[in-house]
Amino acid sequence: METQAFQKIYTKIDQITKATCSLRAKGIGYDELAYIGDRLAQVVKIIGDLVTLQVFGGTEGIPTNAEVTFLGKAPTLKVGDDLAGRFFNAYGDPIDGGPAVQGKEVEIGGPSVNPVQRKKPSNMIFTGIAGIDMNNSLVTGQKIPFFADPDQPYNVVMAMVALRAKADKIILGGMGLTNDDYLFYKNVFDNAGALDRIISFVNTTDDPPVERLLIPDMALTAAEYFAVEKNETVLVLLTDMTLFADALAIVSNRMDQIPSKDSMPGSLYSDLARIYEKAVQLPSGGSITIIAVTTLSGGDITHAIPDNTGYITEGQLYLRRDTDIAKVIVDPFRSLSRLKQNVIGKDTRSDHAQVMNAAIRLYAEAANAKTKLENGFDLTDFDERSLNFAKEYSNDLLAIDVNIGAIEMLDLTWKLFARYFTSQEVGIKKEFVDKYWPKKD
Amino acid sequence: MTKGLVAGIISNLVIVEVDGPVSQNEICYIKIGDTKLMAEIIKIMGSKAYVQVFESTRNLRIGASVEFTGHMLEATLGPGILSKNFDGLQNDLDKMKDVFLKRGEYTNPLEDDKLWHFKPLAKVGELVEAGSWLGEVTENWIPHKIMVPFKFEGKYTIKEISAEGQYTIHDPIAKVVDNNGKAQNITMVQKWPVKVAIRAYKAKPRPFRMMETGIRCIDSLNPIVEGGTGFTPGPFGTGKTVLQHALSKHAEADMIIVAACGERANEVVEIFTEFPELEDPRTGRKLMERTTIIANTSNMPVAAREASVYTAMTIAEYYRSMGLKILMLADSTSRWAQALREMSNRMEELPGQDAYPMDLPAIISNFYSRAGFVYLPNGATGSITFIGAVSPAGGNLKEPVTESTKKVARCFYALSQQRADSKRYPAVDPIDSYSKYLEYDEFIEYINENVSKQWIDQIHYVRNLLIRGKEASEQINILGDDGVPIEYHIRYWKSEVFDYVILQQDAFDKIDSSTPIGRQKFMMEIIIRIIKRDYDFDSFEDVSKYFRSVINILKQMNYSEFKSDEFIKFEAELEEILTKRKVAEPA
């Protein structure tokens, strides 16, 4: 970064901590960026003429006489159509060897949408994964995370959802991605020939953790450009938000703030909400949908990070290994899409809600039968049939490798109903049974 | 007015060097470029005032000029509040034309030039005081009283009062003189500091009138009263917001104030889209006509979130003074408490439990105490019923916000994860929840006269039944279906009948979503009759089969128009099943 002629250079740093530097300077704006040597930093506190800077790359090796120049602006991103197909770091600089993006420079982390200007989200996103489309339908403008243990294939599922969703742009915000996962995304998108609709902002595990704090805002600023100015349907993938929250905790700790639950900063809820609430259905037709990953430790959802996330997002998706079929499935019990009511039966078929509920109820019957079996009780004929139904339902519909259309998935479920149950046992409204119950083969 | 200069900035906490007197909670404006950011003093140390800014402080610089206003954060009160969508500082959101909120954009909560048809109620020469009704205008359908401003102290004599006619809110409609002969004009609009309770009432007795909510698990088990307080804690996904929305749709109130405090924007959008369409069955008008929304969603500035619940309460108190029944809902008060925590943290105060400020319990109880039933000076009554949602961290009810609220709110509606998981909605736990009003003699007397003499006894009876049913179910789970006497199964299924038919309610069904008290009484009697019977079964399998069919018919009744042909048909069917069963009639 070349310095501009009129810029004042400071060369005396008063205090250095692990994450911050303080120096005496005048006329500095709050949130403003500065370079300390070649490291980017941001103003987080000003008391009189003492300015405290948070150094994204860490303060290791910074001397007290380092050159400090203030940029006179908050972090920005140059937005334009050229963003498409490119890979950037947390500062919005290209990391794919390509040229810098030309475009309008906008501050990241901008204002929120006026709630009365929002539209009710009501367009379904079809993913082909029946475990999502049937039981937890996603809607444009929704925000929903995967709650997953680190060993689960959430990145695979997310990449699949992104590619199948008919989004105009897919924006990946990678926080603390391992280099392997970063290359995975790159390859998947490349192989699918979808690179021209993908924009990536990536902070890998090689990069300093505090840099991650910029990733969601960068990704969402790019998203807002395409959704607001181009009226496009934008899908934003954020992985992994737990590592983002960890970075928040590091910063607040180094700034001597009092931690609240689970060593997280007291502002965690607002910090996460500020990001997730960028998901929006705009009146002009554009939309931002956020699918995120929150990794859990040992499946504990009462930890502050998943807990606060659950209060903010519109549902959550769980993956689970089903040992009966040796596949990973979308857990129908714990997963929930709060906005599915807006589209079920409207963007699909009118029997959708009834079929969904009946199948889950029967799947639950199978779970009860399984417990009975494990406890050494005898199974009834109904129990046996539910167990068989559950196995096929799990394999043909819930497994993450399923890729079928919405009508097909409903018809398939009807077939399974008829194979194992009578229509009374399934308990669906008569008008639908008359219409869709398969005729005896 | 006092002025100042910015001397320090830590996120939205700004330290201002002041040149004159300032007061705690005074409002000031910080100049940044062409815009002004509103802020509130929260601490004063010598010549330094610590202010919380209601907006982002990005690019704010040391030395920026600050103007103090000499007053606290005030709500603007007058005709035109109803049906509005405000933010936490009472800016009219619909007057902002941009898609994005603009920093420093403040809009008028009312309309300066709209004409209202004013009818005088008071006469020249009458002695009046703060809150006295001078006249009224019709706002939507509510007779909106024009009152002597709450800031007026002592007695006044009316010197002039305008004749019936069209006036704007700024036209003087009355002239009053105080004891010293000083005359003052009164218009239709007044201001009041939101953090101070409006006390223009004669007495605040214990509340006693039942407030019908149409929600059976409340009315038929833990009823709330006009002017009562309640709260609904629950982990995420247990249906807090659905319950709050159901209350706002069906509760028997003249006006509903919804404070969407730090929650999802899409949930407010649902109200924005639905309420102008949905009909209020009592008045035949649209629900939006009796609703005012204060929307400070989670991504809007944190300090304004704290202000939003106070703004909503002040509006409620204003309308209560007109002799109206107000229901105020806040979703969620935990987010408000978190806003307090964020500021307390920035001010480096010594923290209490979970890093919340030490005075959190006092702040919460003070706020809940502003609800209540009042007798106005002219003998009319008014009430604010307040129900707050609480979002306990990790679903653990032993956290500071839930515990502090439990000390003050008289009704406790615990949303249970277990009930939500088994899709028993509304997931209010019937055994953990309580209503203290059931112990109020005044309330019991009111119910005896207005609902029925048996109602309270019936409530106690079914509560006992539910506890016994739960015990039986635990025994069955431990000992196995055939390890317990059949009597246990019967006991369990009797409680299930009540659970399925009364407690569970389909918030999305046109008919089932709201049940008037008359219908609740009818169903309660049927069910108590079923429960009080003795039954004779050969095996436990028959018990569940039989009661399942009973429940099925009763549910069909719930889904049918009350006393319609269909309803009566199901009733007859039920009677048939009940008589067919070999019942040993009670001795």
Set of chain B residues whose Cβ sits within 8 Å of the Cβ of A114: 93, 96, 98-101
Check A274 against B299: CB less than 8 A apart: yes
On whether both A298 and A379 belong to a single domain, the answer is: no
Residue A40, beta-bridge partner list: A35
Q: Which two tokens stand for residue B233?
A: 């804690």
On whether both A168 and A260 belong to a single domain, the answer is: yes
- As a whole number, the mean pLDDT across chain B is 93
* pLDDT score at A299: 86
Of B101, B298, B355, the CB nearest to A258: B355
Domain boundaries, chain B: 3-72, 116-188, 210-435, 455-584
- Which of B45, B236, B335, B481 is the mutation pick for testing A, counting most A CBs within 10 A? B236
Pairing outcome for strands A287-295 and A143-148: parallel
* pTM for this entry: 0.92
On whether both A260 and A394 belong to a single domain, the answer is: no
Mean pLDDT computed over B286-294? 94
CATH number for the domain running over B116-188: 2.40.50.100
Alpha carbon distance B90, A187 (integer Å)? 51
In this structure, what CATH number is given to the domain that contains residue A64?
2.40.30.20
Set of chain A residues whose Cβ sits within 8 Å of the Cβ of B61: 27-30
- Which of A22, A23, A46 is the mutation pick for testing B, counting most B CBs within 10 A? A46
Share in percent of chain B as helix, strand, coil (round to 5): 35, 25, 40
On whether both A287 and A356 belong to a single domain, the answer is: no
- B393: nearest CA in chain A? A307
Check A28 against B61: CB less than 8 A apart: yes
Q: Is residue A190 part of a domain?
A: yes
Mean pLDDT computed over B29-43? 94
User: In Å, how far from its chain's centre is CA B122?
Assistant: 32
B88 neighbors B311 (Cβ within 8 angstroms):
yes
What does DSSP assign to residue B378? Answer: T
* pLDDT score at B299: 87
Predicted confidence (pLDDT) at residue B508 exceeds the cutoff of 90: no
Predicted confidence (pLDDT) at residue B587 exceeds the cutoff of 60: no
A66 neighbors A37 (Cβ within 8 angstroms):
yes
Alpha carbon distance A299, A301 (integer Å)? 6
In this structure, what CATH number is given to the domain that contains residue A237?
3.40.50.12240
On whether both A384 and A274 belong to a single domain, the answer is: no
Q: Is residue A334 part of a domain?
A: no
* pLDDT score at B294: 96
Q: Which residue has the higher pLDDT, A223 or B350?
A: A223
Share in percent of chain A as helix, strand, coil (round to 5): 35, 25, 40
Between chain A and chain B, the number of residue pairs with CB atoms below 8 A apart is 166
Q: Is residue A337 part of a domain?
A: no
* pLDDT score at B241: 86
Check B9 against A312: CB less than 8 A apart: no
Q: Is residue A206 part of a domain?
A: yes
Helix (H) or strand (E) holding A243: helix A241-254
Strands (E), B380-493: 381-390, 411-412, 434-435
Q: Which residue has the higher pLDDT, B508 or A414?
A: A414
Check A277 against B299: CB less than 8 A apart: yes
Scan residues 206-225 of A and list those with Cβ closer than 8 Å to B.
none
Of A249, A339, A243, which is closest to residue A290 (Cα–Cα)? Answer: A339
Set of chain A residues whose Cβ sits within 8 Å of the Cβ of B300: 112
A127 neighbors A160 (Cβ within 8 angstroms):
yes
* pLDDT score at B76: 97
Mean pLDDT computed over B344-351? 85
Q: Is residue A131 part of a domain?
A: no
The CA distance from B410 to the nearest CA of chain A, in Å, is 25
Predicted confidence (pLDDT) at residue B512 exceeds the cutoff of 70: yes
Alpha carbon distance B210, B228 (integer Å)? 9
Q: Is residue A236 part of a domain?
A: yes
On whether both A357 and A276 belong to a single domain, the answer is: no
CATH number for the domain running over B455-584: 1.10.1140.10
Q: Is residue A325 part of a domain?
A: no
Cα diameter, chain B: 89
Is the domain defined by B3-72 classed in CATH 2.60.40.420? Answer: no
3-class DSSP assignment, residue B329: strand
The CA distance from B494 to the nearest CA of chain A, in Å, is 22
Confidence of residue B491 (pLDDT cuts 50, 70, 90): very high
Number of domains in chain A: 3
Scan residues 138-177 of A and list those with Cβ closer than 8 Å to B.
141-142
Check A277 against B298: CB less than 8 A apart: yes
Check B394 against A266: CB less than 8 A apart: no
Q: Is residue A44 part of a domain?
A: yes
pLDDT (tens digit per residue) in B73-131? 999 999 999 999 999 999 999 999 999 999 999 999 999 999 999 999 999 999 999 99
Task: Give B210-435's CATH code, choosing from 3.40.50.300, 3.30.2310.20, 3.30.565.10, 3.50.50.60.
Answer: 3.40.50.300
The CA distance from B393 to the nearest CA of chain A, in Å, is 7
* pLDDT score at B424: 86
On whether both A288 and A403 belong to a single domain, the answer is: no
* pLDDT score at A1: 44
pLDDT (tens digit per residue) in B379-427? 999 999 999 999 998 888 999 999 999 999 999 999 998 888 777 889 9
Alpha carbon distance A229, A80 (integer Å)? 10
Half-sphere exposure (Cβ direction) of A102: Cα atoms closer than 13 Å: 0
Of A270, A77, A90, which is closest to residue A175 (Cα–Cα)? Answer: A90
Alpha carbon distance B298, A271 (integer Å)? 9
Scan residues 296-355 of A and list those with Cβ closer than 8 Å to B.
302-304, 307-308, 310-312, 314-315, 333, 336, 339, 341
A397 neighbors A409 (Cβ within 8 angstroms):
yes
Of A32, A111, A302, the CB nearest to B102: A111
B40 neighbors B308 (Cβ within 8 angstroms):
no
Provide the domain limits for residue A398.
352-436
Q: Pick out chain A residues at pLDDT < 50.
A: 1-3
Confidence of residue B582 (pLDDT cuts 50, 70, 90): low
